[in-house]
């Protein structure tokens, strides 16, 4: 078996150029209704542009184009980075039901003994 000795510097430069050439071009979906977005990307975070609303101050999205999606909050931002120069406003929404955060404070159980202690201090 013959082995070819590679120039590390030239090999690294070639590998770097290939990686840049192989990068996937940013994708943008066709215009979808909010229901279609939820069906296509269930329980995911999405970045959307060209958002159509019933009125300017309404929260409900009638239609939009998806430029990024993922299971984490950060994933769609990474995909949407290529579109920041094109779009001034990029929306960030969750397609599922958000769970309220778990309270981080301890629960206090009021027993008869504690109640008596609190009453005696008044």
What is the β-pairing status of strands 45-53 and 32-33?
unpaired
What value, to the nearest 5°, has the Cα angle with vertex 64 and ends 58 and 66?
130
Q: pLDDT by residue (tens digit) across 104-121?
A: 777 777 788 878 877 766
CA distance 121 to 15: 75
Q: Max Cα separation, the chain?
A: 93
Residue 40 vs residue 101, higher pLDDT: 40
pLDDT of 2 above 70: no
Q: 10 Å Cβ neighbour count for 85?
A: 7
Bridge partners of residue 105, in order along the sequence = none
Q: pLDDT by residue (tens digit) across 35-54?
A: 999 999 999 999 999 999 98
């Amino acid at each position: 078996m013959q082995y070819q000795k590679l120039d590390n510097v030239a090999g690294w430069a070639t590998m770097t150029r290939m990686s840049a050439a192989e990068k996937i071009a940013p994708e943008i979906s066709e215009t979808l209704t909010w229901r279609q977005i939820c069906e296509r990307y269930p329980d995911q975070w999405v970045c959307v542009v060209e958002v159509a609303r019933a009125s300017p101050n309404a929260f409900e999205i009638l239609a939009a184009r998806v430029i990024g999606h993922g299971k984490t909050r950060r994933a769609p931002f990474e995909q949407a980075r290529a579109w920041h120069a094109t779009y001034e406003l990029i929306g960030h929404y969750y397609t599922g039901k958000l769970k309220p955060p778990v309270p981080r404070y301890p629960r206090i159980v009021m027993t008869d003994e504690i109640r008596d202690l609190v009453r005696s201090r008044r």
